[in-house]
Amino acid sequence: MAPTSDPADRAACADGALAPRIQHTLIRPGVSRQEITNHCLQAAEYGFDAAMVPGAWVETARQILAGTGVKVASAVDFPHGGMTTAGKVAEARQLAAAGAQELDIGVRTGQLRSGMWQEYRDDIAAVVNAVEVPVKVMLELPLLSRSEAELAVELAVEAGARWLKNASSGAVGVATPEQVAFLRRLSPAGVGVKASGGINTARQVRELIAAGADLVGTSAGLAIIGAAPSGPSY
């Protein structure tokens, strides 16, 4: 799904099929090969934008989803954003080589809050420059003040991020239309917005899309499109 800044496109999506806007997510600890297989088959069957899987399962997901049009996505430095830059770059390169077509990356929120802005920016830029796949930056907005959030967006964009994401998961905070609208307002043309965190209902997805989200990440995708009972969202 390419980023869009067209409000009409987002409004139409809010009233239409939601699956193409959802990145179907399975990242909990202990996930098995069969669970990953089922997850990828679901993504293909229902037409989700991508299957988001742990790094160890990227190659498996690539094999299952080959030719389906569903992307393979994964996360780097998740969930804490505390890796060294070298470690993060190595992980990103390995996942891209294994078949990841998009990478959501953790960031050094503590450095940003400590005034270490150059270090924060350079860490993101190192990953962006290390791989050719789009990088989504998990900004952890619920942990930041308004001024810190504005600076986080500015630094991520300067670092070359192709996507901005409000948070890494519901453990940080539930995605809100206000967060999405904030990111959309500050995002330059060509930079997408992904919403994540505690998204469990179709109503939430529609509200987030209407606020400006290009994509939504959730493990409750099947329930949201009416294909399965509701479950936990990550």
Domain contains 100: yes
3-state secondary structure the chain: CCCCCCHHHHHHHHHCCCHHHEEEECCCCCCCHHHHHHHHHHHHHHCCCEEECCHHHHHHHHHHHCCCCCEEEEEECCCCCCCCHHHHHHHHHHHHHHCCCEEEECCCHHHHHCCCHHHHHHHHHHHHHHCCCCEEEECCHHHCCHHHHHHHHHHHHHCCCCEEECCCCCCCCCCCHHHHHHHHHHCCCCCEEEEECCCCCHHHHHHHHHHCCCEEEECCHHHHCCCCCCCCCC
pLDDT tens per residue, range 153-178: 999 999 999 999 999 999 999 999 99
- Active-site residue flag, 71: no
Domain contains 150: yes
pLDDT tens per residue, range 33-73: 999 999 999 999 999 999 999 999 999 999 999 999 999 99
Torsions phi, psi for 130 (to 5 deg): -85, -20
Q: How far apart are alpha carbons 95 and 151 in whole angstroms? A: 28
Domain contains 229: no
* Residue from 71, 88, 136, 194 carrying the catalytic annotation: 194
Domain contains 220: yes
106 is in which domain, residue-wise? 7-224
Domain contains 234: no
Domain contains 216: yes
CB-CB contact of 52 with 26 (8 Å): yes
- Active-site residue flag, 165: yes
* Residue from 104, 123, 136, 214 carrying the catalytic annotation: 104
Domain contains 201: yes
Domain count, the chain: 1
Domain contains 39: yes
The pLDDT, as a whole number, for residue 227 is: 86
For residue 174, the domain's CATH number is 3.20.20.70
The pLDDT, as a whole number, for residue 229 is: 52
- Active-site residue flag, 136: no
